[in-house]
Amino acid sequence: MLLTRGRRRQVDTATHFCPNPDCAYRGWAGWGNLRANGHPNGGPWRQLLCVACRRYFLETLGTILHGKHASVDLIVRVIACLAEGLGIRATARVFEVDPNTVLQWLVEAAEQLQAFARHGLHDVRVKQVQLDELFALLSAVKAGTVSAAEAIARLERSPQWVWGAMDPESKLLLAVDVGDRTLAMTQCFIHHVAQVLAPDCAPLFLTDGFREYLTALLTHYGQWVQPARRQAQGPLPKPRWMPLPQLLYAQMVKTVRRRRLVRVRHRVVFGTLEAINAVLAPHGWHINTAFVERINLSIR
Ligand SMILES: [Zn+2]
């Protein structure tokens, strides 16, 4: 839509879109159908008008700030405080806010940040990925599964596994997930990593000796292969699920006795040792998972 009359618009509305489900412009940004309409009741947020469907909405619609009486400054500080590692109750005491409110803001912020991460982190091309899991006392709050009071109590501490995936070259953290140490969780985690990576990107994977990684990697980085006929006659052999030819995967198996590291062994699972060393050699590295372990210590 091009502006044909009136004075030039001062407010850029190109990053917003019309939320009306019946509007043809719904979900489309930058088509010139939105007009800024001032601040209703002298509030901090602008009202926007869609000239296609004549609906009004606030510019905060769909964000954590929508419909909140608390100031933006307070909400941002509370979330920053939680991000720094202060507990829910402690944060509530510092800012003199109800702990249930703090929990509500945390849950809303988490949803926004997840969407933001998906928007910004995709089609990543890396040569290596280090995977690791660490045991930590963490939150286990999912909407609806626990009451708010229970959630606040449990957020203080509950044992969980933190799964981390990282590119050691750029130190980019590709995925962080929380869950059990099971095959199902390994599949979820590898799925998350595969979604962040570009579809044709099959990097070198380095993990510890946890055996479920093999199944999960083979699931996501495999293909059906039709074996050749052994005889000229008879039915074709059944297709087999095989790792992609470019898939490289090595494990670091650590032996610990009386809390002391006594031995580290390398195990090449997919690919050849030469191919793996060719990826690592430009950096003067050997097979190791030291970088992601360092990150995990930071998370802890
Ligand atoms: Zn509209």
How far apart are the CA of 7 and the centre of ligand 1, in A?
22
Check: pTM over 0.75? Answer yes or no. Answer: no
The pLDDT value given to residue 149:
63
Near ion ligand 1, which residues have CB within 5 Å?
Answer: 18, 20, 23, 25, 50, 52-53
d(CA 300, CA 298): 5
* Contact assessment for residue 172 and residue 200, using Cβ atoms and an 8 Å cutoff: no
The pLDDT value given to residue 295:
65
The pLDDT value given to residue 200:
86
First-to-last alpha carbon distance for the chain, in angstroms, is 52
The pLDDT value given to residue 264:
75
Smallest CA-to-CA distance from 53 within 1, 130, 3, 105 is with 1
Residues of the chain with pLDDT under 70: 3-4, 6, 136-159, 289, 291-292, 295-300
How far apart are the CA of 227 and the centre of ligand 1, in A?
56
DSSP, collapsed to helix, strand or coil, labels residue 106 as helix
* Contact assessment for residue 103 and residue 91, using Cβ atoms and an 8 Å cutoff: no
The pLDDT value given to residue 143:
46
The pLDDT value given to residue 298:
66
How far apart are the CA of 10 and the centre of ligand 1, in A?
20
Cβ-based neighbours of 59, under 8 Å, separated by 6 or more: 16, 45, 46, 47, 48
How far apart are the CA of 6 and the centre of ligand 1, in A?
20
